[in-house]
Amino acid sequence: MDVYSIITERIIKGLEAGNIPWKKPWNGSGPRNFASGHEYSGINVMLLPGLCASIKQINELGGSVKAGSKANIAVFWKMLPTIDKETGKAKNIPLLRYYNVFSLDQTNGLDVAEITKKYAGVSETPAERIAHCEEILHRKQPVIKQELSTRAFYSPRADEITLPALEQFHSSAGYYETAFHELIHWTGHKSRLDRIGADHMEKHSYSREELVAEIGAAFLLNKAGIEPTEPENVQAYINSWIRFLKDAPREIVTAAGKAQKAARYITEDQPAAVTDEVKELVAA
């Protein structure tokens, strides 16, 4: 079984158990390697349970893994040098790889309280979180129209986001989750990340873009310290993604990478190249 199949199988099993992996309540602090301090990104945000490290790293810290513990997988891209057959020039081919990690609560002999405290997210008041959401939503100055409506959508032709009024939502979290979903679509315009092409309405392209927006919105909510909401018809929502991922098993990895890139485009002044763990410690 290849790495894509392993990842997709785990994501589908989570969905079948009623867990939506991109709607985790990280509240501002996503999964992190507690030995190196590395903050996991991309698909790893959905695969990992919080603070993790490899057996080697845990042993180096003076701890051990509890007997019978089941490993989680951390994914990284390994660049394989090769020669282009047509041009004869050197190039790198990215290969998806993974290594095993264990969560902090699967260890013995470590100061769990101290490590947890070290990597705890910054505590903010509800008002501060809302202000953070507003800053994220408007920092790249998208055109946003608000009206009394039951629809929220992004129009690539007009390059505009349309949102219902805040008071039409059950909660401010629901409003910003919807706004961030459309904001991720906004990044796909040809003048930005050029992700929404002429084939946008083709089955897989449309579903992929929706998945990118769902995951990207979750990344932005995490950045603001807001817990994602549960879809109104959660089982139908879950079933639709199970069908899509079974039909297109590589799409979850692709969507997670594109969502990460979109979120960074919005939140960083000069977004770094999206490597999705290229520089993760391969020797871990």
Residue 87's pLDDT is what? 84
Portion of the chain with pLDDT greater than 70, in percent: 89
- Top pLDDT among 160 and 277 is at 160
pLDDT tens-digit map of 188-219:
999 999 997 655 545 568 888 999 999 999 99
**The predicted structure's pLDDT at residue 282:** 35
**Encoded tokens for 176:** 């910003």
Question: Which one, of 106, 119, 113, lies nearest residue 36 by Cα?
Answer: 119
pTM: 0.86
Domain annotation covers residue 275 = no
Token pair, residue 17, equals: 């158990």
Residue 178 lies in a domain: yes
* Residue-range definition of the domain harbouring residue 42: 3-267
Mean pLDDT over 70-86 rounds to 89
In a domain, 232, yes or no: yes
- What pLDDT, on a 0 to 100 scale, did the predictor assign at position 277? 46
Q: Which amino acid is at 170?
A: H
Q: Which residue has the higher pLDDT, 284 or 47?
A: 47
Backbone angles phi, psi at 154, to 5 degrees: -115, 130
pLDDT, tens digit, 9 for 90 and up, residues 123-165: 778 899 999 999 999 999 999 998 877 789 999 999 999 999 9
Q: Is 272 domain-assigned? A: no
The DSSP line for 60-118 is HTT-EEPTTPPPEEEEEEEEEEEE-TTT--EEEEEEEEEEEEEEGGGEESS-HHHHHHH
> How many domains does the chain fold into?
1
Tokens of 103: 């969560």
pLDDT in tens, 21-47: 998 766 556 789 999 999 898 899 989
In a domain, 274, yes or no: no
Q: Is a pLDDT exceeding 70 seen at residue 122?
A: no
